[in-house]
Structure 1
Amino acid sequence: MAAMLDETALSQALSGRRVLVTGHTGFKGGWLSLWLRRLGATVVGVALPPARQSFCTAVGIDRLIESRIGDIRTENTLREAIGGQDFDLVIHMAAQAIVRTSYEAPVDTYMTNVVGTAVVLEAARRMPSLGGVIVVTSDKCYENREWVWPYRERDPMGGRDPYSSSKGCAELVAAAYRASFFSAAGGPQLATVRAGNVIGGGDWGTDRLVADLARSAGSGVPARIRNPVNVRPWQHVLEPVRGYLMLGAALLDHGARFAGAWNFGPGADADVNVGRLADLAVSKWRGECPDYIIERQDGAPAESVVLRLDSTKARAELGWKPLLHLEEAVASTVDWYRAHRREPERIRAFSESQINDYAARWATGKDAAPAQEEKEVIATCA
């Protein structure tokens, strides 16, 4: 595979392709759909209705692509939403994505993340023109051993909470479908992708650190931060989205070589604890966001303390690498929320300009940090 060095090559691969995106009304799904449209793909989205406050609603994603409302958890409702359409590429992003919500509604979490994945894959395998499927899971799919070493794609699946285990289960469902239905030479291929903790403009999800700080900046009420010592791999939303798009193009053009699991984690500077990320975000608000309050919650649901990803495979095989330092990712995120608060009617153009600036950064070939296999661990739980 020739290296895909810039957005022009990506557009050549995806322009004119028919792409089904499940979860387009969500945060990452909205950014993915906006970029696919920019690349010239014909995009159809299937998802539940967007929240009143969401990236989809702010930017008007449902007016830019063919948006269909449907529940992925049953075959009949998904079939009705798709309406018999055929696609070259399916990117499955629809999910229940909040760890704490999974404690409150575990059955719904498993229904959406596990059964929903099987329903989408069952629909995909019956599409005559299908070339590839990407199932988006999570870095939390791994059996977390609370060690400092980053997880690689071959590490075992696990999960100690309903959300994490549901993502591990989704990986197992995808692996079974890959072996059973997506392994024919020259036939459609299936990949799964695992990203870190994604930040970016337009995420108003519950229990999201940067979203909580953005709400704090708008209201003047200090955000309450849990677990400040927990280390996560933070990255801007456009980093993994670019990886998904590059992988989709590779599946369509080169097939089985790019099937399997892929990590898209951040650069060396971005594995930091929650407190460090919160401090950085507050500083970027330049006085508009009050300092946060650390909230100790006795008896609160347990969450992993340390979690890191190794993206060596994506670097070596796909030519993907993170482009933004953590400070740049946070600054870009804060800029989006500030722009939305001041000129909400222009936020679509602002979002497109952020994609444009990021694509220009990609074209320069500048790396955000050394490859993970060469770096030392720089974040601690102290």
Structure 2
Amino acid sequence: MSDLQAGNDFWAGKRVLITGHTGFKGSWLSFWLDEMGADVFGMALAPEGQPNLFDQLGHESEIDHMLGDIRDSDLVAQRVTQVQPDIVFHLAAQPLVLASYEDPMQTWQTNVMGSLHVMQACRALSKTCSKTCALVMVTTDKVYENQEDGRAYKEDASLGGYDPYSASKAAMEIAISSWRRSFMQDGPVRMASARAGNVIGGGDWAENRITPDIVRALIAGQEISVRNPGAVRPWQHVLEPLWGYITLAERLWTSDDARYQSSFNLGPDMADVRPVQDLVKAALGHWSGTWHETPDAAAPHEAGLLSLDNSRAAEVLGVTPRWGFDQTVGKTISWYHAVQTGGDAPEITRTQIREFMAP
């Protein structure tokens, strides 16, 4: 038994399906749940690029790994029927704002129709199997109609989105609400959505995201190019929302309390809502380098200010931020630096989870 399971046997033997398990957050989540004794099943596209966290963790042999596209409704239904999950974490998505401008149709098909396929497959399973299934649908902080007026958005704020990514995730939230009210009230499937702020952490290698861009420049010994240093974001370590997802799933599975079957913001405290340049400067405090601004007048629109009100998650789930901004950046950069200098990625990841969970 892993020491991460000690004191919490809820996950031991639970059948857990994670869509998007080969991605950044999905890799951290599947690793963590496997360490806690869950039987983890995945469905996702192949991990993108080299390096990627899924391969760095060597997790393909540790879980029931399956490649598949959530846009294929029949394949999603087959996987759900095969797994017979106790708990489903739906993370599979097209997650990048800039990529959504390049291929808006694929973004909408994945984020909206793919999510509907997952919900419908779980609904169909409930008709043939009466056991409880907890379904955590992961969206984003960008689902709100962002006025950039300094407000921290609460869960009942108006949904919307300027770019195709944000709009598709807002549409996903509307679909979740519709499916929950139309088909899942008083049934064995209990569903909630989780709206996480900007997530950073070791092992994110995606294109056009600030932390991977910082690390790639530092590894190459190049100056960091920063597109929009004044953009303000709710930064948090990847373990923060994952702990929220895990807690939410436990509550959904063990209780039919309607408070859990709703939406939750998972973001940092307001003191940790910072501009991009603060993130860059903090990173350079842990790994020597330099940076410069490279504004692009032709770049597509991205929000300049975004923040979340996390009070509902604190009140209903008891989930509050554990690591502040400086610690979050330190843990993130130390992960990359340790792996880059020959450290063992699984053990470094395991150690950071232990540190996060320490009283």
Equivalences for 1:70-85 in 2 at 5 Å?
70-82=68-80, 84-85=82-83
Q: 1:61, CA displacement in angstroms?
A: 2.0
Q: Distance in 1 between matches of 2:33 and 2:208?
A: 28
* Contact residue 121 and residue 177 of structure 1 kept, 8 A: yes
* Contact residue 339 and residue 345 of structure 2 kept, 8 A: yes
Equivalences for 1:210-249 in 2 at 5 Å?
210-249=211-250
Q: Deviations over 1:115-135 (max 9, x none)?
A: 100011111112323421110
User: Which runs of 5 or more structure 1 residues have no equivalent in the other structure?
Assistant: 1-5, 364-382
Q: Deviations over 1:63-87 (max 9, x none)?
A: 2211110000021222344562201
> Equivalent residue for 2:22?
25
* Contact residue 283 and residue 330 of structure 2 kept, 8 A: yes
Does 2:121 match 1:123?
A: yes
Equivalences for 1:71-150 in 2 at 5 Å?
71-82=69-80, 84-127=82-125, 128=129, 129-150=131-152
The alignment's C-alpha RMSD in Å is 1.5
* Contact residue 87 and residue 130 of structure 1 kept, 8 A: no
* Contact residue 201 and residue 238 of structure 2 kept, 8 A: yes
Q: Letter of the 2:190 partner, please give it.
A: Q
Equivalences for 1:1-382 in 2 at 5 Å?
11-51=8-48, 52-82=50-80, 84-127=82-125, 128=129, 129-184=131-186, 187-255=188-256, 256-285=258-287, 287=288, 290-343=289-342, 346-360=344-358, 363=359
* Contact residue 259 and residue 316 of structure 2 kept, 8 A: no
SS of the equivalent of 1:153 reads coil
Aligned length: 350
Q: Deviations over 1:181-204 (max 9, x none)?
A: 1111x5221100001100000000
* Contact residue 25 and residue 61 of structure 1 kept, 8 A: no
Residues 305-314 or 71-80, more deviating: 71-80
Q: Letter of the 1:350 partner, please give it.
A: I
Q: 1:95, CA displacement in angstroms?
A: 0.5
Residues 294-303 or 120-129, more deviating: 120-129
Q: Distance in 2 between matches of 1:205 and 1:61?
A: 19
Q: Distance in 1 between matches of 2:265 and 2:6?
A: 24
SS of the equivalent of 1:340 reads helix
Q: 1:156, CA displacement in angstroms?
A: 1.2
Given the two structures, how large is their TM-score scaled by the length of structure 2?
A: 0.94
Q: Deviations over 1:221-255 (max 9, x none)?
A: 22211111111000000001000000000000012
Residues 51-60 or 325-334, more deviating: 51-60
Q: Letter of the 1:317 partner, please give it.
A: V
Q: Letter of the 2:196 partner, please give it.
A: A
> Equivalent residue for 1:374?
none
Q: 1:15, CA displacement in angstroms?
A: 2.0
Q: 1:284, CA displacement in angstroms?
A: 1.5
Q: Distance in 2 between matches of 1:142 and 1:131?
A: 28
User: Which runs of 5 or more structure 2 residues have no equivalent in the other structure?
Assistant: none
* Contact residue 134 and residue 253 of structure 2 kept, 8 A: yes
Given the two structures, how large is their TM-score scaled by the length of structure 1?
A: 0.89
Moved over 3 A (4+): 6-9, 79-83
Q: Distance in 2 between matches of 1:7 and 1:234?
A: 28
Q: 1:169, CA displacement in angstroms?
A: 0.6
Q: Letter of the 1:231 partner, please give it.
A: V
Distance 1:143 1:177, change over 3 A: same
